[in-house]
Each structure stands twice: as structure tokens, then as C-alpha cells.
Amino acid sequence: MNVQEDVRKPLDRLAEALAPEMEAVNALIRERMASRHAPRIPEVTAHLIEAGGKRLRPMLTLAAAKLLGYGGPYHVHLAATVEFIHTATLLHDDVVDESRQRRGRPTANLLWDNKSSVLVGDYLFARSFQLMVEPGSMRTLEILSNAAATIAEGEVLQLTAAQDLATNEDIYLQVVRGKTAALFSAATEVGGVIAGVPDAQVRALFDYGDALGIAFQIVDDLLDYGGTAEAIDKNTGDDFRERKLTLPVIKAVARATPEERAFWSRTIEKGDQKDGDLEHALELLARHGAMADARRDALDWAARARASLQILPEHPIRDMLSDLADFVVERIA
Amino acid sequence: MNVQEDVRKPLDRLAEALAPEMEAVNALIRERMASRHAPRIPEVTAHLIEAGGKRLRPMLTLAAAKLLGYGGPYHVHLAATVEFIHTATLLHDDVVDESRQRRGRPTANLLWDNKSSVLVGDYLFARSFQLMVEPGSMRTLEILSNAAATIAEGEVLQLTAAQDLATNEDIYLQVVRGKTAALFSAATEVGGVIAGVPDAQVRALFDYGDALGIAFQIVDDLLDYGGTAEAIDKNTGDDFRERKLTLPVIKAVARATPEERAFWSRTIEKGDQKDGDLEHALELLARHGAMADARRDALDWAARARASLQILPEHPIRDMLSDLADFVVERIA
């Protein structure tokens, strides 16, 4: 990120550059999350949507469309579609993970119940499909419905793969593409498709979203083990406690001695954890260079994201997207 | 039903008349319920899809298309879409209702877990949207995505309305249209749309599916209180025990004395039930003619379904659909 030119975060600069479009997206979201008959729906949805998420995914759609000179109204529908799919996924994820907190607030499954989260999530999925039909573009429909299937497939794969020491980096990447990158890449790709640009540029947008999403998730997984900081804070180790195999552990397992493998098997596969286990896990991650290697992977994906942008036209928004790729990995740089 | 002409059930006659198309639907369902990456998905789906459901909904789509002379391949996609939406809904319903049995077998949430049912349901929803995109018809996309939203809305409405004595017949109808009739009417309507028939015929198909679905659900709700039989068997009263307000109880509550109202409030609203309560509930339903009136409503809706068919061309399938409306209410006739 070129801090001499603009010290603000790339997400804030994007939000400013896309302010009128983003306002239209928010208005459309508010309109479509309503329900004539079931007041429980807007209650649950508002709790999550108005909790101040960053709206990163819809912003990617708006950015791609604007950067490529789209002049019509439908990038707003596509961006709102993307946010609805994301919100539906969060509601169901929190049920599946039995989460109690999201965006610093109690989860919907805690405030209402699992039933409401499941059914309101279904409602938002259905609303997202209604929204994506409106632009009348078969190609964006294919991209977004494929993304929805990839997301659900990744989530199911994670159910079985997360606690299995046989999970390797290929399977991890599959899960990450499903749970995170598929929606990032669909968000950027549909922005290009709706702008009617050549296939090579659409492909570049897909590649950018895909690489950005993967970098984003690896960083998330690294930060869960404290990132590059040595200190352990209270949030360190959530994935360990929830027995989720992520990239750092997958790397450490691949390099484990038989005794270390027994440790991972006990703590992750069998879920038998005691005091001091997290500290020992962190030590193993450091000893095998697993954190450093996962960090290098994240930086690699961020570099690929930036490189994908090169065939796109010069534009301030292109620079912001490039800086965004750096920003995503900045927390572990 | 004209038993002198053909004594077989209308559903069996429809299945025979539509056998080649139905085989194509089943092949497409098997193909699309697969997952390259997550074997849990076909396991869970096969458990439900191969349990021998009647395939009533996809058959409605095939019947409408064939009756109206459609010659293309896409009624098969639309029929499979409808069955996928139905299956996804069943998976989520069983989580929401904490059900243990479905189609005479243990539910997926019992055999695997709630997580798998939620996420595999999401996968089937997404697959249904991929399928509905393939025919390239914007109008069928609108109909089916609207139906998906109506279904989810009806399910959420039921969450709050089912245990509230203020729920009246209008709200009941809203819930029933959501949970049952919306998919019936979408199934028949898209069959007409894909056949390219005039709007009046499309409307007639919608009306048929809507009325058939409502009759179907009222019968289901009546049978839960033993239908017209006096005997109580072990399945009688599931809705009462689960505190679900359905049409017979709504009618009885509307005619209740203050003392009777207190009984319904204790058992349904507060869920405080004792031995003998079900028997007392059945007595109240009989005393106020609630069962007889709900039965009359079901017969009314079946008659409306039959009447809707009159503007459609003469065809053996039209007669089967007409007989199907009678058959749906036969169990309470």
C-alpha cells in the first residue's frame, strides 16, 4: 500500500469511491429483507445486517462494474444478492458451529433460536435468488447459483475434513474456496459480466476474487493462532478448541514426529484437550515453521490477486483493489 | 373418482402415463445430488430421496407440460428442481421440528446430525437454482424463486403463529400456502409456462396447484386428529402435542367458551399438557363441529381445484388431475 499517496485503508477509500452505489445497495437490502407476513424475518436479518459488517463482498461487485465502465442499474442487484447469500451463510454457520458471538454481538441463534436462524437463512437464500433473476442475465445467474452450490459443498466438506488428520493442503484449499473464495470470485466476476467486457477481463476478475478470498481465509486462520505475535490473547486458539484443522496445523501435522502426531490426534481428532495443550500446539507450529510457511502462502495469494489486475484498464479503483490485496495480508505482514 | 372406468389410484395412473419422463427426472436427480468433493452430501440426500416419496410435486410439473403439448426437454429440469426444493425443505423442517421419523425411516438429523441436515439442505437449494437456470426461461425462474421465498416465509410465520391463539383462518391459510401450496402451484404453473400456453391456462394451472395444495394440507391436519374416525390411534394428536394450531383447533377456539379458551391456552400456548387433554381436545373439536367444518373446507378446495381444470384442453391427464383432487380428500370423505 502506497502510504505516501493515501494513508486511509483501501476499504475506506473504496467505500468513498462507491458511496452512491453502496447507498443504493443498502436501500435495496432493507427493502428486500422485509416480509409482509412474518415480522420475525426482518428482526433477525436486521440484527445481523445492521451490526456493521464491512460489506466487503458487495463492494467487490460494485468496484468491478465501475472499474469496467458499467453504466446500468443492475450491479446494485448483484451486489445485494452477494450480501444476502453471505448473510444467509452466516446465519446457518452460527447454527452449525453453535456460535454465541458474531460481529461483537450475540448471534441470532442465541437471541432467538436455531429454528429462526435456519428458516430466516432459507428466506434470505430465496430472496437472493429472486434478486439475481432481475437483471435478466443468464450468465450472472449461472455464476451466482454455481457459487451458492460451491459454498454449501465446501461447508459440508469442512464438516468431515476438519477433524481428520488425513486432510491435506489440497482439501484445505477446496474447503477455503467453498467457504470463502467462491463468493469473493463470484462477486468480482459478475461485476465484469454485467459490464459486458471480454472474457479475458472477466477471467482476471474471477482470479482476483479467488486469490483475495484464499489470502483472506489463510490470514484468518493464522490470526486464530496469534498471527505473528508471540503473545496469546483470549481469542487465540478458537479453531484449536473447536478442533478445526487449518493450514498451520496441516503443515505441522505433515512434519510431525510420531509422538507429535499422537498429540494432534488426541487433541483434534479425539477432542481430548487439557491445560497446556494450546501452548504445546503453538510451540509445534513454531518449531516446524508452520506459521511462517502459512504466512508465505497468504502473501503469495495476495501477490497473485494483485497480478491478476494487470490486464484490467488503469483506474483509481484498480489501484484500490490492488492495495486491498496488500491490506488483507497486512495484519500478518 | 370414476371407479367404474379405472379403479387404480390417480397417482398410479399419472405415474404410468408419465413413466418415461419420470425416469428422466429420477436420473437427473441422481446425477445432480452427487458431489465431487463431499461424499456426505449424496449419502444424506439418497437416504431421503430413495426412501420412496411419492414424487407428487415433480409429477405435477410433468403432467401440466404433457397435457399442454410441450415437446421440449426442460420440463424434466423443472420437475427435478421442484423435487430438490421439496427435499431441501424436508431436511430443514426435520431440524426445526426435531423430528425423528420421516417416510417410515429415521430422519437425517437423527442418523447424521443437525449440521449435516442444514448444510446438505443448503446444497440442494443451490442445486435446485442451478437446475432452474438451465431451461433459460426467465419466467420459470421468477415463479420458482418466488415460490422458494414464499415457502421460507410461510415456515417462519408458522414458528410464531403456531402457538398463538390469535392465529385466525387467514393466517392459517397464509402458512399453508407457504408450507405446502406454493410449491404445488409453482410446479403446475411452470409446466404451463414452459409449454408456452396462453396466460389464462397458466393461471388455471396455478389455481389448480394452489387449491390442491391447500386441500392436501387441510386433510393432513384433519387426519392428525383422527380424521372422521372416532378411534384414536398412536399417531393421533401429534400436532396437539407439538402445540401446532391447525384449522380444526382454530375453528374450535373461535367458538370456545371462556373455560374452553383457558384449556386451549394452557395446552397449546403454554404447552402444559396432562393425561386426558388430547381426549378433551377431540371432544371440543367434535362439540363445536370444528372437524366437520374443516372437512367441508377441504372438500371445497378440492372442488375448486377440479373446476380450475375446465378451461384446459380435454386430455386423459386432465382427467387424472381432476381425479387426483378427489383422491386427496378421499381419506376424509
Facing residue for B41 by CB, picked from A95, A133, A153 = A153
Res. B3: pLDDT tops 50:
no
Query: CA–CA separation, A306 vs A300, rounded Å?
Result: 10
Facing residue for A141 by CB, picked from B116, B121, B133 = B133
A120 touches chain B (CB under 8 A): yes
CA distance B134 to chain A (A): 8
CATH code: domain A10-330 is 1.10.600.10
Q: Can you give the residue ranges of every domain in chain B? A: 10-330
Q: What is the pLDDT of residues B287-300, one digit of tens each?
A: 999 999 999 999 99
How sure is the predictor about B1, in pLDDT bands with cuts at 50, 70 and 90?
very low
Query: CA–CA separation, B33 vs B124, rounded Å?
Result: 7
Q: Which B-chain residues 245-304 have CB contacts (< 8 A) with chain A?
A: none
Query: CA–CA separation, B266 vs B194, rounded Å?
Result: 50
Transcribe B130-181 into DSSP letters.
HHHHTT--HHHHHHHHHHHHHHHHHHHHHHHHTT-TT--HHHHHHHHIIIII
User: Which residues on A lie below 8 Å from B119 (Cβ)?
Assistant: 92, 96, 152, 155-156, 159
Residue B48's closest CA among B110, B141, B137? B110
Amino acid making up residue B99: S
* Percent of chain B whose predicted confidence (pLDDT) is above 90: 74
The beta-strand segments (E) located in chain A are: 101-102, 105-106
Helix (H) or strand (E) holding A287: helix A277-287
Helix, coil or strand: residue A295 = helix
A32 touches chain B (CB under 8 A): no
As a whole number, the mean pLDDT across chain B is 91
Q: Does the beta-carbon distance from B149 to A126 stay under 8 Å? A: yes
Amino acid making up residue B239: D
Res. B188: pLDDT tops 90:
yes
Q: What is the pLDDT of residues A4-40, one digit of tens each?
A: 456 689 999 999 999 999 999 999 999 998 888 888 8
Backbone Cα Rg of chain A? 20
Residue A261's closest CA among A181, A166, A196? A166
Q: What is the pLDDT of residues B37-80, one digit of tens each?
A: 888 888 888 887 777 678 999 999 999 999 999 999 999 999 99
Q: Which residues contact B91 (CB under 8 A, 6 or more apart)?
A: B44, B48, B108, B109, B117, B118, B120, B121, B124
CA distance A96 to chain B (A): 5
| B133 within 8 A of A142, measured Cβ to Cβ | yes
- Residue numbers of chain A with a pLDDT score lower than 70: 1-7, 52, 228-235
Mutate to test the interface with B, among A86, A89, A123 (most CBs of B within 10 A): A123
Q: How high is the pLDDT of residue A234?
A: 60
Facing residue for A123 by CB, picked from B38, B41, B152 = B152
Query: CA–CA separation, A188 vs A181, rounded Å?
Result: 11
Facing residue for B37 by CB, picked from A40, A126, A153 = A153
A136 touches chain B (CB under 8 A): yes
A166 touches chain B (CB under 8 A): no
| B329 within 8 A of B294, measured Cβ to Cβ | no
* Percent of chain B whose predicted confidence (pLDDT) is above 70: 95
Three-state SS sequence of A82-117: HHHHHHHHHHHHHHHCCCCEECCEECHHHHCCHHHH
CA distance A176 to chain B (A): 13
User: Which residues on B lie below 8 Å from A152 (Cβ)?
Assistant: 119-120, 122-123, 125-126
Q: Does the beta-carbon distance from A125 to B125 stay under 8 Å? A: yes
| A18 within 8 A of A66, measured Cβ to Cβ | yes
